[in-house]
Amino acid sequence: MSNLTQFKSTEFRRKNLRGFTLIEVLVTVVVVSIGLLGLAGLQINGLRANMSSEARSKATLLASDIVERMRANLAGVDANLYDGINISEATCAAPTPLCSNISGTPLTGGSCTSAQMATFDAWAWGCGLTPAGGAQRGGIVNRLPNAIASVACEDNNPDDAPLCSPGSPHTVSITWSEQNPSDGSATLQTISLVVVP
Instruction: Parse the chain into domains and list their residue ranges.
Output: 3-195
Say whether the peptide bond before residue 97 is cis (omega within 30 degrees of 0). Answer: yes
List the one residue out of 190, 148, 194 whose CA is nearest residue 170: 194
State the pLDDT at residue 136.
64
Candidates 71, 82, 58, 87; CA nearest to 171 is 82
Most confident of 103-107, 112-116, 177-181: 112-116
- Please report the pLDDT score of residue 53 as a whole number: 85
The answer to whether the pTM exceeds 0.75 is no
CA trace torsion 152, 174, 182, 44 (10° rounding): -160
The pLDDT-based confidence of 96 (bands split at 50, 70, 90) is: confident
* Torsion over CA: 105, 109, 112, 114 (sign): positive
